Each structure stands twice: as C-alpha cells, then as structure tokens.
C-alpha cells in the first residue's frame, strides 16, 4: 500500500486526539519477541503492548486461527450465536471456578459489566440500600466513567463532572482500612490480585484471605480484576489459582486475545442469573474472529510447558535485573509475580522511570513503566531465553548511560 503523505510522528499530532504522547518510533512488524520499525531497526519487546501480546507477535497458532476464522465468518450479532464464542466460553468455564461467561471487548467493558452485575445482584437479592462498591487506592480498572471512578486514582476520574456514586477506596494490603468501610450495604469489593498500573504490588496471603472473609461476613461479592494478571501472566492461568481464594466474579482482557481485542467476565450461574435478557449487552462482545483467536491463545497458554516456562523465564529476568542492580545500585526492590515484573527505583533515581524507558528504546529495547518510580516488564510468556539474555544486555547499556 502506498501513501501520498508521510506517516510519521508529526502526523499523529495533526490527526489524533492529544490524549496520548507516543514515541517517535513507529513499529511496523513483529515476530516473536522482536519488533522492527519503519527504518528496519530491531527492538526486543519486554512491554508486550502492556501485557497483551502474551505469545509475542504473529504467533503461528494465533495467525492461523485468525486466517482460518477470517475466511469463514467474522461477526454475527448477539441475536445469533457463534461457534468460536461457545467453544471459548466452554474452555473458560472448564478451566476456572466460573459457570457462565459474558464477552466484551476491553478490560474496562468487562469491569463495567461486573460492577453493573454486582449492583443488580444486590438490588434483587437484598435491597436498593446495598449498592456500595469498595475498591483499593492505586487500583486501576479502566477508563469508562464508572470503571475509572472505581479505580483508585482520582487524577484519572476528576474533571468530568459528577461521578457515579457510592464508591469508596480502602488501602491495599491493609485489612483495617477495609474493615472501616465495609458493611452489609456493600455489594462488592473489587481488587486486582496484583496491582499492575499502581506499581506492581502483590497482596499478602493474609490480606487476600481477609478480604474474602470480610466479603463473606457482609454478603458482598468479591470481584477479581484479572485484566492484567490473567491468561497465564503470573504462571497460573488466572492469578487467583495460586492464592487459595476464589472470587465471585473475575474479569479478563489484555492477554486473553493475545493482541486481538476481547474481554470476558466470568461468574457463577447464581450470580449470572441477574443479567436477565436485555439487562446488558455489547455489539462486538463475542465477535467470532476475536473468540477464535482467544480460543487459540487459551489453548496455547493453558499447558504445563507455557505456564511452567513463565516461572523459569521470570527467574532469568529477575536474576538478570538483580545482577545489574548489584553493579549500578538503581533498584530499591525487584518484585512481582511471573512475567509481571516491577523494579522500583532508589531515591537517587526517583521519578526517572521514563528516562530508563527512553534510554532502553535507544538501545533497541521496549520496556514499560508503572508510575514515575517503577520500571515494569510484561514480555511474551514464551520469549526465548536468548532474547531475555540480549534484552538484559541492552538494558544494562541503557542503565550504564543513565548511571554515568
Ligand atoms: N483493569 C486492569 C487491572 C488493567 O490493568 C487495565 C488496563 O491497564 C484495565 C482494567 C483496563 O483495560 P482496557 O484498557 O482494556 O479497558
């Protein structure tokens, strides 16, 4: 395809809404964990489209599912149903606590469905009084007005007029803070089983169990937002599986489609029964093409080779980061679970996470940040070990430049 105009970063400023500030680098193709830009410069990708490209770029299983379904049927309205959606739903139900699935297109939409369902469940099972939603500070649940208000960062939800009501925020990893807010008027407590955007913060076992107990005591639903942690990222198919706690509702997106937009809300039959005909919906939710790709993604991820590989690859990466830290003393802590890794900068480098990201790009390495002080890595779950070694070598060069 030829353009009569240059496609470059300046064009972004001309034609795009200014809510993002992307890099000047324009990647045009990818294979596995490598990406090439318009100038054919090669990068190793430890960002994975923000925890999306869980099988790297153009994985053969996903490409062939896309092509195969693409030549059959792409989309049907929800007046019909379709084979890929039912196959994917059956696989998700068989693999998890859930008995029912609702498909959406993004993490925010899956969460929107979860929050609406929790409110409807409480209204029908109890009373209109039971509508409080409790979430956690620094949590992130999406950008629709309901989900961004449930998210624990006011900076994202302020400035849009009156907010959806009866939402409050407790401190993550602080049961007393939740105890002070929860009551029989709480309909749901929403948490990420590892806060991603908020800085890669794991909950303690005691905290997660305590949240479950408090929900049970007050007949509140426990919603796990697994948009970032789900689909193999932590070394389990879903993070709750490594936690000894089962949520009532779970949301998944990002890695679920391996790079194709799809999301799912999973729950039990009893809770799902409150989403009666016409109560909620989505034109694209359950799109056949998306479900076919997600089915291939789940089939590929939900295997001992891939899930055990996550733990082994996470060790290689964190050992490498710790070794770099021994030399340059840049990290106060390297943390996370599986291939959701956070490295918090020391005081000396506070606020400079973006500088490390930019310096890494110059060395041919894509990484992420989670706030101003944390470098975040969310690579492909099947990144070759040789790419990890090369990525660490490139990262060390970037660190050396900044530490100079
Ligand atoms: N929930 C969590 C935990 C997330 O990390 C994100 C995105 O970063 C979302 C929800 C929102 O997902 P989406 O951007 O697909 O709407």
| Residue 1 clears pLDDT 80, i.e. is over it | no
| Residue 21 clears pLDDT 70, i.e. is over it | yes
Task: Examine residue 354 and state whether it is found in any structural domain, yes or no.
Answer: yes
- Distance of CA 105 from the midpoint of ligand 1 (Å): 11
- Distance of CA 187 from the midpoint of ligand 1 (Å): 22
Task: Examine residue 240 and state whether it is found in any structural domain, yes or no.
Answer: yes
pLDDT tens for 351-362 read 999 999 999 999
Three-class DSSP labels, 94-110: HHCCCCEEEEECCHHHH
DSSP 61-129: HHHHHHHHHHTT-----TTS--HHHHHHHHHHHHHSS-SEEEEESSHHHHHHHHHHHHHHHHHHHT-TT
Beginning with the edge strand found earlier in the chain, give each strand of the sheet holding 365-366 in spatial order.
Answer: 27-31, 34-37, 42-45, 365-366
**Closest to 280 (Cα-Cα) out of 121, 166, 145, 129:** 121
Task: Examine residue 68 and state whether it is found in any structural domain, yes or no.
Answer: no
Task: Examine residue 371 and state whether it is found in any structural domain, yes or no.
Answer: yes
- Distance of CA 197 from the midpoint of ligand 1 (Å): 9
Kindly state whether residues 309 and 366 are assigned to the same domain.
yes
**Sign of the CA dihedral with 44 first, then 48, 54, and 57 last:** negative
Quote the domain boundaries for residue 341.
Answer: 9-59+304-403
| Partner residues linked to 263 by β-bridges | 104
- The pair of structure tokens assigned to 342 is 């956070």
Task: Examine residue 64 and state whether it is found in any structural domain, yes or no.
Answer: no
Task: Examine residue 2 and state whether it is found in any structural domain, yes or no.
Answer: no
- The pair of structure tokens assigned to 206 is 């005691």
For the CA of 106, the closest atom of ligand 1 is 15
Q: What is the pLDDT of residue 144?
A: 98
Question: What's the rounded Cα separation, in Å, for the pair 266 and 101?
Answer: 5
How much of the chain is in helix, strand and coil states, percent to nearest 5? 40, 20, 40
- Average of per-residue pLDDT across 30-40: 98
Kindly state whether residues 103 and 183 are assigned to the same domain.
yes
* Percentage of the chain modeled with pLDDT above 70: 100
Q: What is the pLDDT of residue 194?
A: 98
Question: What is the longest distance spanned by two Cα atoms in the chain?
Answer: 65
- Distance of CA 33 from the midpoint of ligand 1 (Å): 22
Closest C-alpha to ligand 1, atom 12: 107
pLDDT band at 258, cuts 50/70/90?
very high
Which residues lie below 8 Å from residue 45, measured CB to CB, with a gap of 6+?
30, 33, 34, 35, 53, 56, 57, 366, 379, 380
Question: What's the rounded Cα separation, in Å, for the pair 182 and 187?
Answer: 9
Beginning with the edge strand found earlier in the chain, give each strand of the sheet holding 374-377 in spatial order.
Answer: 331-337, 340-345, 374-377, 368-369
Ligand 1 near 228 CB (within 6 A): yes
pLDDT band at 67, cuts 50/70/90?
very high
Q: What is the pLDDT of residue 84?
A: 98
Which residues lie below 8 Å from residue 208, measured CB to CB, with a gap of 6+?
193, 243, 244, 245
Kindly state whether residues 244 and 325 are assigned to the same domain.
no
| Domain end point (choices 301, 316, 339) | 301
| Residue 2 clears pLDDT 70, i.e. is over it | no
Q: What is the CATH number of the domain that holds 245?
A: 3.40.640.10
CA atoms within 13 A on the CB side of 222: 20
Question: What's the rounded Cα separation, in Å, for the pair 227 and 263?
Answer: 8
Ligand 1 near 257 CB (within 6 A): no
For the CA of 254, the closest atom of ligand 1 is 15
Closest C-alpha to ligand 1, atom 11: 142
Kindly state whether residues 285 and 383 are assigned to the same domain.
no
Question: What's the rounded Cα separation, in Å, for the pair 199 and 139?
Answer: 9
Do 298 and 91 form a contact (C-beta atoms < 8 A)?
yes
- Average of per-residue pLDDT across 39-61: 98
Question: What's the rounded Cα separation, in Å, for the pair 363 and 358?
Answer: 9
Do 245 and 209 form a contact (C-beta atoms < 8 A)?
yes
Kindly state whether residues 246 and 123 are assigned to the same domain.
yes
Number of domains in the chain: 2
Kindly state whether residues 30 and 111 are assigned to the same domain.
no
Q: What is the pLDDT of residue 4?
A: 87
Kindly state whether residues 237 and 377 are assigned to the same domain.
no
Task: Examine residue 1 and state whether it is found in any structural domain, yes or no.
Answer: no
Ligand 1 near 106 CB (within 6 A): yes
- The pair of structure tokens assigned to 319 is 């050992």
Task: Examine residue 66 and state whether it is found in any structural domain, yes or no.
Answer: no
Kindly state whether residues 144 and 285 are assigned to the same domain.
yes
Indicate the burial class of 163 (C-beta count within 10 angstroms; 0-12, 13-18, 19 or more).
middle
Question: What's the rounded Cα separation, in Å, for the pair 333 and 345?
Answer: 7
Kindly state whether residues 244 and 111 are assigned to the same domain.
yes
Ligand 1 near 136 CB (within 6 A): no
Q: What is the pLDDT of residue 3?
A: 75
pTM: 0.97
| Domain end point (choices 301, 325, 341) | 301
| Residue 330 clears pLDDT 70, i.e. is over it | yes
The whole-chain average pLDDT of the chain stands at 97
- Distance of CA 206 from the midpoint of ligand 1 (Å): 25
Ligand 1 near 141 CB (within 6 A): yes
Kindly state whether residues 219 and 329 are assigned to the same domain.
no
| Domain end point (choices 301, 319, 337) | 301
Kindly state whether residues 393 and 377 are assigned to the same domain.
yes
Kindly state whether residues 137 and 285 are assigned to the same domain.
yes
- Distance of CA 142 from the midpoint of ligand 1 (Å): 5
Ligand 1 near 112 CB (within 6 A): no
Which residues lie below 8 Å from residue 141, measured CB to CB, with a gap of 6+?
107, 108, 111, 135, 147, 148, 150, 151, 190, 225, 227
Ligand 1 near 233 CB (within 6 A): no
């Amino acid at each position: 395809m030829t353009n009569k105009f240059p496609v470059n970063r300046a064009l972004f400023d001309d034609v795009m809404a200014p809510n993002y500030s992307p890099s000047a680098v324009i990647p045009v193709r990818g294979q596995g964990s490598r990406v090439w830009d318009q100038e054919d410069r090669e990068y190793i990708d430890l960002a994975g489209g923000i925890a999306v490209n869980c099988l790297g770029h153009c994985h053969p299983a996903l490409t062939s599912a896309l092509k195969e379904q693409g030549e059959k049927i792409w989309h049907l309205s929800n007046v019909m149903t379709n084979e890929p959606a039912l196959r994917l739903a059956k696989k998700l139900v068989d693999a998890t606590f859930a008995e029912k699935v609702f498909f959406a297109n993004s993490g925010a939409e899956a969460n929107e469905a979860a929050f609406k369902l929790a409110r409807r469940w409480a209204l029908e099972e109890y009373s209109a009084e039971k509508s409080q939603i409790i979430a956690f500070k620094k949590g992130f649940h999406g950008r629709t007005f309901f989900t961004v208000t449930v998210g624990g960062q006011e900076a994202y939800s302020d400035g849009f007029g009156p907010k959806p009501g009866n939402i409050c925020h407790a401190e993550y990893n602080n049961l007393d803070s939740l105890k002070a807010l929860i009551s029989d008027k709480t309909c749901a407590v929403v948490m990420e089983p590892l806060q991603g955007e908020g800085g890669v913060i794991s909950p303690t076992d005691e905290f997660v169990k305590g949240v479950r107990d408090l929900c049970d005591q007050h007949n509140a639903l426990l919603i796990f937002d697994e948009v970032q942690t789900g689909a193999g990222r932590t070394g389990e198919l879903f993070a709750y599986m490594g936690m000894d706690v089962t949520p009532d509702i779970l949301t998944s997106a990002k890695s679920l489609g391996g790079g194709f937009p799809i999301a799912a809300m999973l729950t039990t039959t009893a809770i799902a029964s409150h989403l009666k005909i016409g109560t909620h919906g989505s034109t694209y939710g359950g799109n056949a093409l998306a479900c076919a790709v997600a089915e291939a993604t789940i089939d590929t991820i939900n295997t001992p080779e891939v899930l055990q590989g996550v733990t082994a690859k996470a060790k290689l990466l964190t050992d490498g980061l710790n070794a770099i830290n021994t030399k340059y003393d840049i990290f106060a802590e390297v943390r996370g679970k599986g291939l959701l890794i956070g490295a918090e900068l020391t005081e000396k480098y506070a606020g400079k996470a973006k500088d490390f990201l930019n310096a890494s790009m110059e060395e041919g390495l894509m990484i992420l940040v989670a706030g101003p002080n944390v470098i975040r890595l969310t690579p492909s779950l099947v990144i070759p070990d040789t790419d990890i070694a090369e990525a660490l070598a490139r990262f060390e060069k970037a660190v050396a430049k900044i530490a100079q």
